[in-house]
Amino acid sequence: MNKITKNKRWLSFLIWVLIIAFIISAPSILPVFRLNLLGRYLSLAIVALGVDLIWGYTGLLSLGQGIFFALGGYCSAMYLQLNSSQDFPNNIPEFFGLYGVTKLPFFWEPFKSPIFTLIAIWLIPALISAFLGFLVFRNRIKGVYFSILTQAALLVFFNFFNGQQKLINGTNGLKTDVTQLFGQMVGSDSMQRLFFWLTAIIVIMAWFFSRWIVRERFGNVLIGIRDDEPRVRFMGYNPTYFKTIVFGIAGALAGISGALYTVQSGIVSPQFMTVPFSIEMVIWVAVGGRGTLLGAILGAVIINYAKSLVSEALPASWMFIQGGLFIFVVTTLPEGFLGWIQSDGPRNIMVRLGLRRPLSTYPSLEADGKEEVKP
Amino acid sequence: MNIPLLELSQITVSFDGLYALNNLDLKLNTGELRAVIGPNGAGKTTFLDVITGKIKPTSGKVIFKGRSITGKKEHKIARLGIGRKFQSPRVFNNLTVYENLALAISNPKSPWPILIGKQSNVQRDQIIHLMNIINLQSMANLKAGSLSHGQKQWLEISMLVGQNPDLLLVDEPVAGLTDEETDLTADLLKSLSGDHTILVIDHDMEFIRKLESPVSVLHQGKVLCEGSMDSIQNNPQVIEVYLGKPEEVNE
């Protein structure tokens, strides 16, 4: 392995040590309120990983990941509501009473099972996204048209969920913080600590999973599709299947993310499917670094944490800062912060300032000349 | 050898009433090396697009190994054994030289084996062998985007060879190459014919001459004539539509 790769490895290793040290120490140094915020933002990192897979690697700019995020959230909330509805009339969740509903709608029934719920949280969003994706990809719709379609789908889901009071409490959403899990209130401090740990572990697992997806040839096919799809076809690959699979995976990650976010924020509502929220997911990845995975995690957590800190100090200023940050990254660091560091951005600045000599050849060749090929 | 490897019969492609190809007939035998020339707009690239499935012909049939492939999807045609090199080198700039070759060589190409399967040692040796041929072994881990134009052309040709197709379609392989590189490319293609059937499209007369192969001249979507380079250059029709005065060509 050459020097550059070694440096990059060393860098991601360092970042991981910092992340893990932070996660381990967070519960003892942060008050529960802050810990809960951190947990929520960590769960957003999971949906960001999915956006990085489909956008950063495969070039599919989806503006509709909020659909799958919300579906995961609804799945978890439905289970929690059912799990805590013994004291309400007809043994069904309380809100049904407001609309005169006395019988549980049929699609709620399977959510009485915790095992079904745990599978549904990722499988339902995965199947829906893969199905929608397949229809779009099969017809070779790409680029801007794909983005517009995903945003249109988001609006359809948003309006549908908003209007269904009798099925899922419509615009009010489903509350989870006053529900019971393992005999405890979901909103209680001890449960929130538990969810923080759970989220932290799942973020790391999601990273390993995504890394495994893109590590070898599969990831290279995705990059090939992003950069030159017809060329990939002429080599004998069918991009439709590759895109469908990766879009389904991103949907599953969004669902898991939405479920963890819901239990930590105490409610799921159609607000998860608003247009700005899905666009923000793209911004986290763009700022952190497309096609880096780690950049998606850092982008999601740091931007959201900054958002809550800034909003506390200077209310209403955050939108300006976020917009400015996005413009700054797009114009000066098109690869995002992590991408910039990995492509020797800091070194280039040092060279410009006259602090270092420019390289006269490709760094990897200068490092060790002819080398053994390692696949 | 009685059945041609590739047979195009009565291929017509029209875009809004304009004929890009007009009742084109062409046969290619197994192991043959064939050059196709023609002035701009003669339909050379459309002709490759029809064979590889990018464009569906308005009418006519493409028969490969005795089976009709008309209207099949690009990746299916590629899997049947037709490989294509594009006019401008199209390698994956963000992948390394090694990864580019690995994608070409991988087989099967459906998602599941690509995700789960490992690259075999045979494939690895084959990649190293190909890199040695094109002299890029020291750049194996360098992004293809940082290669020079000539190196990219060669990388793409070696990717095509790695795909191991029965029929290689090569579109302007020497565009932008130095004279020395052009000679090497001609030698490479000649050495590949026999095992592979090759169809080369180019403008460069000197290069086509070096291939020492039969030439088909395309004009206004039709095959105008076929024959050796010398007979083509002396054909008055060809001179009229394409070559201009013979003196200019022989310069």
Over 70: is that where the pLDDT of B90 sits? yes
Over 60: is that where the pLDDT of B24 sits? yes
Residues A56-67 pLDDT 10s? 999 999 999 999
Report, as an integer, the average pLDDT of A89-97: 83
Average pLDDT of chain A is 87
Residues A255-296 pLDDT 10s? 999 999 999 998 999 999 999 999 999 999 999 999 899 999
User: To which H or E segment does residue A268 belong?
Assistant: strand A267-268
Do A235 and B95 make contact, defined as CB atoms within 8 angstroms?
no
> Residue A342 — very low, low, confident or very high, per pLDDT cuts 50/70/90?
confident
What is the tally of structural domains in chain B?
1
Residues B99-113 pLDDT 10s? 999 999 888 888 888
Which among A233, A364, A365 is the nearest to B75, CB-wise? Answer: A233
Task: Indicate whether B22 belongs to any domain.
Answer: yes
Using the Cβ of B169 and the Cβ atoms of chain A, whether some distance falls under 8 Å is answered with: no
The CA R_g of chain B, rounded to the nearest whole Å, is 19
- pLDDT > 70: percent of chain A: 93
Residue from B76, B77, B99 whose CB has the most chain A CBs within 10 Å, to mutate:
B99
pLDDT at A358: 67
The shortest C-alpha distance from A317 to chain B (Å) reads 38
**Omega cis (within 30) before A375:** no
pLDDT at A276: 92
Report, as an integer, the average pLDDT of B87-92: 86
Within 8 A of B166 by CB-CB distance, chain A residues are none
> Residue A89 — very low, low, confident or very high, per pLDDT cuts 50/70/90?
confident
pLDDT at B249: 47
Please state the ipTM of this predicted complex: 0.85
Task: Indicate whether B44 belongs to any domain.
Answer: yes
Do A230 and B83 make contact, defined as CB atoms within 8 angstroms?
no
Query: Which residues have C-beta within 8 Å of that of residue A217, sequence separation ≥ 6?
Result: B99, B102, B103, B106, B114, B119
SS3 of A2, please? coil
Q: Quick one: closest CA in A to B109, which residue?
A: A237
Task: Indicate whether B152 belongs to any domain.
Answer: no
CA distance A159 to A115: 30
Using the Cβ of B98 and the Cβ atoms of chain A, whether some distance falls under 8 Å is answered with: yes
> Residue B2 — very low, low, confident or very high, per pLDDT cuts 50/70/90?
low
Do A221 and B137 make contact, defined as CB atoms within 8 angstroms?
no
Extract the runs of DSSP E, i.e. beta strands, from chain B: 6-15, 18-28, 33-37, 59-64, 67-68, 82-85, 167-171, 197-201, 215-219, 222-227
Which residue(s) pair with B6 in the sheet?
B28, B64
Q: Which of A111-120, A123-132, A361-370, B192-201 has the highest mean pLDDT?
A: A123-132
Domain ranges of chain A: 3-25+45-368
DSSP character string of B194-208: TTBEEEEE-S-HHHH
CA distance A371 to A3: 12
DSSP letter for A54, please. I
The shortest C-alpha distance from B90 to chain A (Å) reads 7
Q: Which domain holds residue B246?
A: 6-86+198-250
Report, as an integer, the average pLDDT of A244-255: 96
Residues B206-249 pLDDT 10s? 888 888 888 888 888 888 888 888 888 888 887 777 656 555 44
pLDDT at A371: 42
Over 90: is that where the pLDDT of B183 sits? no
Which among B78, B103, B146 is the nearest to A220, CB-wise? Answer: B103
CATH number of the domain where residue B31 is located: 3.40.50.300
> Residue A368 — very low, low, confident or very high, per pLDDT cuts 50/70/90?
very low
pLDDT at B176: 80
Task: Indicate whether B50 belongs to any domain.
Answer: yes
Over 50: is that where the pLDDT of A337 sits? yes
Task: Indicate whether B126 belongs to any domain.
Answer: no
Residue from A138, A217, A246 whose CB has the most chain B CBs within 10 Å, to mutate:
A217
The CA R_g of chain A, rounded to the nearest whole Å, is 22
DSSP character string of A173-221: -EE-TTSEETTEETTSHHHHHHHHHHHHHHHHHHHHHHHHHHHSHHHHH
Q: Quick one: closest CA in B to A371, which residue?
A: B138
Task: Indicate whether B98 belongs to any domain.
Answer: no
Using the Cβ of A361 and the Cβ atoms of chain B, whether some distance falls under 8 Å is answered with: no
Over 70: is that where the pLDDT of A235 sits? yes
> Residue B251 — very low, low, confident or very high, per pLDDT cuts 50/70/90?
very low
The torsion of the CA quartet A304, A307, A308, A310, rounded to 10 degrees, works out to: 150
Which residue(s) pair with B21 in the sheet?
B13
Which among A236, A362, A374 is the nearest to B109, CB-wise? Answer: A236
